[in-house]
């Protein structure tokens, strides 16, 4: 059984709760998982003040961000469907402000549905942290074929003060990247370590 200790277990890109056993999770030999030390405290940046319904899920959507300090990006939060649909998608982290920038990380993910706005965010943790340099533009891009409406955020800002003096600056991704921008859209949360 997973006990309370100095580590967080990430399996299939989801944080595992302490009450599960390895047998219940079907963790077998040669299965990859990510073990994160709690000594490196993770922080969350939340982009929006309000959450609403009926955001059309674009085939390609994204947001560009720039941290004011060196960080390790652990993952992002994504809004789920309020139409009881699991969204199968691919997420990419790009080294630059455009959908044509170099790919740093690419992974297949699932975004879970939600019945209300209070638990509308699916936390997506990458298989490995992504090192981000201060004042460099990066893009988070979501590719999906799912036809559904999702929750979305409003009253976003162009920069947000994170923990330990880290500022996150946001802007629209260059190129075809759906409807998400600074003030409204998807990508409500960013999870990171200080480097």
Angle at 105 between CA 93 and CA 11, to 5 degrees: 110
pLDDT in the model for residue 91: 97
Residue 21 has pLDDT above 70, yes or no: no
Mean pLDDT of 145-153: 92
Tokens of 171: 């802007």
Tell the residue number behind the tokens 């600074």, with chain if given: 182
pLDDT in the model for residue 108: 96
Tokens of 183: 């003030």
Going by pLDDT thresholds of 50, 70 and 90, the confidence category of residue 96 is very high
Residue 152 has pLDDT above 70, yes or no: yes
Mean pLDDT of 122-146: 95
Angle at 60 between CA 93 and CA 120, to 5 degrees: 80
- Global confidence as pTM: 0.80
Angle at 113 between CA 109 and CA 114, to 5 degrees: 135
DSSP secondary-structure letter at 100?
T
Q: Please name which of 41, 75, 13 lies closest in space to residue 193, comparing C-alpha atoms.
A: 41
What SS3 class is residue 117? helix
Biggest CA-to-CA distance, the chain: 47
Going by pLDDT thresholds of 50, 70 and 90, the confidence category of residue 178 is confident
Distance of alpha carbon 61 from alpha carbon 91, whole angstroms: 10
Q: What is the pLDDT of residues 27-59, one digit of tens each?
A: 655 555 555 554 567 899 999 999 999 998 889
Whole-number mean pLDDT of the chain?
A: 86
Q: Residue 45 to residues 4, 58, 161: CA-CA distances in angstroms?
A: 25, 23, 8
- Choose the weakest-confidence range: 37-51, 58-72, 88-102, 180-194: 37-51
Residue 118 has pLDDT above 50, yes or no: yes
């Amino acid at each position: 059984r997973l006990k309370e200790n100095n580590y967080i277990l990430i399996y299939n890109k989801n944080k595992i709760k302490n009450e599960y056993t390895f047998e219940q999770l079907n963790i077998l030999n040669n299965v990859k998982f990510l073990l994160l030390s709690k000594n490196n405290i993770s922080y969350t940046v939340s982009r929006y003040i309000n959450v609403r319904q009926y955001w059309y899920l674009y085939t390609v959507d994204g947001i560009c961000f720039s941290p004011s300090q060196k960080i390790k990006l652990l993952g992002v939060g994504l809004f789920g469907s309020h139409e009881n649909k699991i969204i199968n998608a691919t997420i990419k982290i790009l080294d630059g402000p455009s959908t044509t920038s170099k790919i740093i990380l690419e992974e297949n993910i699932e975004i879970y549905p939600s019945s209300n706005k209070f638990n509308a965010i699916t936390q997506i943790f990458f298989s490995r942290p992504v090192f981000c340099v201060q004042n460099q533009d990066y893009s988070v891009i979501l590719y999906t074929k799912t036809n559904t409406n999702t929750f979305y955020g409003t009253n976003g800002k162009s920069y947000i003060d994170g923990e330990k003096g880290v500022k996150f600056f946001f802007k629209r991704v260059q190129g075809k990247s759906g409807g998400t921008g600074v003030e409204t859209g998807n990508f409500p949360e960013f999870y990171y370590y200080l480097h």
